[in-house]
A and B are shown apart, each in its own frame.
Chain A
Amino acid sequence: LFFNSFQFALFFVVVWLIRTLVTRTSTLRLLRPSLSRARVLTARNVVLLVASYAFYAAWDYRFLFLLMASTANDYIVARALEKEQRAPRRRLYITLSIAANLGLLGFFKYYGFFATSFAALGRTLGVEMSPHVLNIVLPVGISFYTFQSLSYTLEVYRRHLRAEPSLLNFAAFVAFFPQLVAGPIERPNHLLPQFRHVRPVTWSKVSSGAYLIAVGLFKKVVIADNVARVADAAFALHAPTRVQALVGAYAFAFQIYADFSAYSDIARGTARSLGFELSRNFDMPYFSATPSEFWRRWHISLSTWLRDYLYVPLGGNRRGPARTYVNLMLTMLLGGLWHGAAWTFVAWGAFHGLILCVYRPLEGPVRAWAHKLPFGARGALHGVAVLFFFHLVCVSWIFFRADGLGQAATFFRALAAVPTKDVTGELLVLGPVALCAYLVAGLLVIQLLQYLKKDSWLVYRSPVPVRGLVYAAGALLFVWTGVDGGESFIYFQF
């Protein structure tokens, strides 16, 4: 059930209709006059839970039991944490929750990676080891729901949140289908209370939700899937030229952004249409001038999770500069590994950690110096900084997309090579480069306006003729250049 498939559209319409019928107390009271508001709430949450489990089971029903087990475990642990006053016991309970969640993640996601990596290390040291590699299928969304569930027990442990008394509410929170398989990783303080009330679904919510869904579908079907053809073609080359490597890296940068932010938009849109608010996961990240700004704009729910539950507990920046750099590197390395069990993701995390460490001491003095410059010069400097940092991000995407470190090295060698003369011929091999260039340029123009006006709802709030023109152009592009076939979202693999 991909968000960009007809099956999902049908599924969503059915769920929306049932949810709307159930939450209209007047409709239910026709059947049972003594119905209380609490019963209506329960009925709605049952509908959402059943829908979420059905949505998850559509991939592989066997892993549904894993999701249920994880939910039950954290529900019980949180209840115990709530009642328990003794610190050692509380530490034991939270360790149990962390071990269960990370153990689950470790077994399904990292077992094979570590087994083969240790065997390879052994071979280099002269010790022959034959790793017992299991052919384990990675359950969809495991990285997302374990982190979401874990943040709940951690918040209860810190006494920032009371344990949820209703198992139904908690299960619906963990399994909420719009964000179950690829986030945003919701915080319990934000999403869980929304399962305790029935908020009216107003026309403005439905309309803005539909707008978010349309924007997400456009980004996925028109931009991401077209750009993916270029990126895939470039990364399939054994010996790319400089131009091909450059275009491939740019293409993947826009593919992953359009793809992942599309998923988040559709998730927010579907949730909003059902009366829920999900947190924003992307905020025009490619307009960041520094790495710390980038991580405030890119995959916000993961970066804030890592900040609050890893970087800060490690000591953050409170234990001196040396420890701060160690903490930054560690956080980014684990953030990279969270994406997948491969050395390329470790390298990606390490690269981001490194640029965070390099930028950190420079940011303050450069900002102070820039403030003394005239307005125009300051703007130009900011533009250069954004452009420079975007290219650093593109370098990191080469690690992320490459099949292995060898392929990444091939790409870097190609980027450093002397350019050839037959640029047109080299680009033709990559497929619809011109089409993608126009699409990306259009996306950047709209985002630049949103960035300058500091309003991500700029199009939605624009005057009717402008809005009409954008909608008409979007519809035409959707029909003319949209890639069909319900291609999977990149972040489903994590």
Chain B
Amino acid sequence: VASPSSISSSEPLVSEVSRARRNARARAPWGLATAAGMLLALELVLRVLHPPGVLPSTLDDELCYLGVVPELLAYGAPDIAVVGSSRARRAVNSPEIAAAFGSEQRPRVGNFGLGAAKAEDTEVTIRRLLEANPAPKLVIWPIAPHDLVSRGEQPGPWVRYLWRVSDWREARQRLGGRADRYLPEALRNEAARHLRLVRYRGPVRNLIEGSQRRHLLSNLTDLLLGRTQPTPLHGAIHPMNLKGDGTAMKEVSRKRIRRYIGRRSYRDPRWPNNEQAASVERAIELLARRGVRLVFFELPAHPLMEEMLPSGTTKKYRKLMKTLEKRHGVPFFRISDLDEQFSALDFVEQSHVNGMGAKKFTKAISGPVVKILR
């Protein structure tokens, strides 16, 4: 076999060299590098354009959880934050609270009540609020027995949208491996603190899922032009409270309430001394440590719901709240302490107040709130 005599055996052939170079080029992950470059460019565009970026859903579903972190990162915490479940979200009209302070000292009020939230969800919301600088001056927590319904040894399904890695770590000490399934979202939330691309995942999902109701292009135009709908998080009245004359009502039947109460943990003899009560206590301590004032208001209950709850439920819940009031010096206002009476006409269904009920409740709590903050 002839070999090129001009090239010594120790020197590689030209074709071999070029093949090696080609292989080296093929080996380098250029596709990944290009993708990283594209994502970086998009991140820079978002930083330069700085679109409002906060489009939390006005619906009481999981997407409203996704709005909390972007809202706080974009606008900071409000002076007064309302926290709790969707009952709190519907019962407190932020602009009316702000108006109670008069035009000179009008504070910024945001309603961070979240659909299906239990005390553990509210505790994490408070953690996020406290991370803001400056922190809120006052936290209002309209609370009901529903906030203390036990989920057992399982974190809530949507609490992960609020978690940071530190929350996962803490939950892991309490719940073990069960907390691990929420680690990816905790990591995403951590990344969202630094990357706009990750931060806007809520708005993007909202945009796409919202296209079932409106055309995708109209949603996209609204987002790009900043024509976002004002939301309770950002201090607007819940849109459902603005519908009609505010007296909307659905049928409330015993069957429906029985199904709603279902197998909730009220019947547990230990109730409400459970992990949710522990969350309330932890939240109180966290706020006290930061010097942020907290006030609890009992939420009005539909008369039929109150009648059908297992006997002693309301009594036990009030007892717990009074104990916490004594132990930590956090004021708890019962419905009877407020200057308003609520009837079935103030409810849209068995759980949430309607527009009229919200007006009454907000008016009733405004006086004590102004007094506390002044």
Contacts and interface: CB of A to CB of B under 8 A. Distances in A.
Interface stretch (B25-33, B110-118, B273-281): B25-33
A428 B61 CA distance: 12
Given A472-B39, A475-B39, A484-B160, A203 B212 contact: no
B38 interface: yes
B181 A424 contact: no
A481 interface: yes
B182 interface: yes
A484 B188 CA distance: 11
Contacts of B167: none
Contacts of A469: 34-35, 38
Query: What interface size band does chain B fall in?
Result: 20 to 34
Contacts of B181: 5, 484-486
A467 B297 CA distance: 56
B37 A468 contact: yes
B128 interface: no
Nearest to A486: B181
Given A428-B213, A438-B208, A486-B181, A468 B201 contact: no
A471 B32 contact: yes
Nearest to A430: B212
Contacts of B201: 479-481
B209 A434 contact: yes
Contact of A424 (B29, B184, B188, B212): B212
Given A468-B37, A475-B35, A484 B182 contact: yes
Contacts, number: 86
A376 interface: no
B221 interface: no
Contacts of A6: 180, 183-184
B143 to A, nearest CB: 29
B334 interface: no
A434 B211 contact: yes
B283 interface: no
B73 to A, nearest CB: 16
A465 B197 CA distance: 20
A427 B211 CA distance: 12
A479 B198 contact: yes
Contacts of B137: none
Contact of B205 (A5, A435, A472): A435
Contacts of A472: 34-36, 38-39, 42
Nearest to B39: A472
Interface string B8-49: 000000000000000000010111111111110010000000
A404 interface: no
A476 B197 contact: yes
A146 to B, nearest CB: 30
Given A468-B34, A475-B39, A428 B212 contact: yes
Contacts of A193: none
Interface in B170-213: 180-185, 188, 191, 197-198, 201, 204-205, 208-213
A480 B204 contact: yes
A7 B191 CA distance: 20
Nearest to B27: A203
Contacts of A234: none
11 contacts: A5-B181, A433-B212, A464-B30, A467-B35, A469-B34, A470-B35, A472-B34, A475-B35, A482-B184, A484-B160, A485-B182
Interface of B: 27, 29-39, 42, 160, 180-185, 188, 191, 197-198, 201, 204-205, 208-213, 216
